[in-house]
Amino acid sequence: MLSKRIIACLDVRDGKLAKSVKFVDTKDIGDPVLKAREYYEDGLDELVFYDITASSDARNIMLDVVEQVAKQVYIPFSVGGGARTVEDANRLLWAGAEKINVNSAAVKRPELITECAHAFGAQNTVLSMDILRVETSREFPSGYEVIINGGRTPMGVDALGWALKGEELGAGELVVNSIDADGTREGYEINLTRMISEAVSIPVIASGGAGKPEHLLEVLTEGKADAALVASMVHYGDYTVSGLKQWLHEHGVKVRLRY
């Protein structure tokens, strides 16, 4: 059985580490470069960097910040925000990213997923999905809708259908981010994560809602996620990456420990 991964998320706005609750009330909380180094030295498995206003502002990602963060870590580094073309994605790779994270642009133009997978490999092409719970209907049989532009624009796209389509188009991994749970620290959206994990054959990263170690245990077991993304619980210093991994290990979850 493959080890479960712990992934830290750096949401960056105007070059600063930011955090929001349910995609609103965003606050600047620190230096993403310093945090990246701290988490890497503490045994983090992977790092995700999102420029959270690049898509909504219709601009390219801040490559200088990506470059600074990339110099601090020697683990898989995934970057998203504002990548609309293979050329945009290529610039991110040259800046130090290992994986390309597509989201809003892929919903608008799904062939972007295939183009990136052909250019860089499926293993380096990640489809991120920002998802909101809605009433189950013919339009949304899963009960979840895809939202783009940093949680600003509903797309009338069913989340489960989009996950399956993303895999078909060539994505090698999915980030399933619950807007309802984001920043609440009350636990991941287990139903959503499990539903998508059971439907696809590619790795699923659970995102949104982590507040204590029990939440990670739940989503990695009951939620069937391959990886758990954390943000607030480590950004604010309540937990450390190494402490979370040790706790999971002691509770029967296979993780990579540093000895």
For residues 90 and 7, give the distance between their C-alpha atoms in angstroms, rounded to a whole number: 23
74 burial via Cβ count (<10 Å: 0-12, 13-18, 19+): exposed
Query: Which of 200, 92, 180, 198 is closest to 131 using CA atoms?
Result: 180
Q: Would you call 11 a catalytic residue per the annotation?
A: yes
Q: What is the DSSP letter of 25?
A: E
Catalytic one of 88, 130, 158, 182: 130
**Phi, psi (degrees; rounded to nearest 5) at 41:** -70, -20
The CA–CA distances, whole Å, from 81 to 50, 70, 84, 177, 208 equal 5, 16, 9, 14, 17
Taking the alpha carbons of 178, 180, 186, 192 in that order, is the dihedral positive or negative? negative
For residues 118 and 89, give the distance between their C-alpha atoms in angstroms, rounded to a whole number: 12
Catalytic residue positions, numbered: 11, 130
